[in-house]
Amino acid sequence: MTASGFQVYVLQPNNIIAQEIVSSVSTVLIQRKPLNTTIVIPNQYRNNSVTYIFTINTDTDLLAGDYLQFTYTGLWTLFTNMTKIISGVNSNLITTPLWSTYINTTSSITSLTLTNFSSILKSTQFTFYLPLVTPINPNTYTLSITAYRSNGKIAQSYTNNSIVINQTTGYIR
């Protein structure tokens, strides 16, 4: 986002509102810091049962009502019932983390969403294991991770444009 030419209203001690027009000869670029993310990918086989290990460090606290969405290009099989959070997600009796998936076969998009946590703090490292089956077609796939606020606004994001799935055929356990 680029910002320039502001109007500022200042409430003075005598309860009079003064309007100030602030202009700048240059513009200021305001942007979100990306999610610091590491993904361990054991192999690049197609149609293979494998577990990806995610390590995410947020630069902002994610609180109750916020959520994370992982969007893959291609058709992936994600096993939410076997996804294991190792560290970094806080929960309580009311907020137990929930994983859900959505596959859009028309657009060839697979989404994984984490909701219902009490917090993921910037001071902790969020690590989880995601069992999955890679797409059947060899290709270079994209993964986008977006942290959303409860109001739907983006808090942080990360994109990996180079998940390569090669010609080697894996196996399904």
Of the pLDDT bands very low, low, confident and very high (cuts 50, 70, 90), residue 127 is: very high
43 neighbors 170 (Cβ within 8 angstroms): yes
d(CA 81, CA 98): 10
Segment 93-103, tens digit of pLDDT: 889 999 999 99
Neighbouring-strand partners of residue 119: 63, 90
Q: Is the confidence at residue 122, as pLDDT, over 90?
A: yes
**Looking at residue 25, what is its pLDDT?**
57
Half-sphere exposure of 13 (CA within 13 A, CB side): 0
Of the candidates 137, 120, 150, which has an alpha carbon nearest to the alpha carbon of residue 55? Answer: 120
Question: What average pLDDT score do residues 105-111 get?
Answer: 95
Name the CATH topology of 32-165.
Answer: Immunoglobulin-like (2.60.40)
Annotated domain spans of the chain: 32-165
58 neighbors 156 (Cβ within 8 angstroms): yes
- Residues with Cβ within 8 Å of 124's Cβ and at least 6 positions away in sequence, in order, are 87, 88
* Residue 67, amino acid: Y
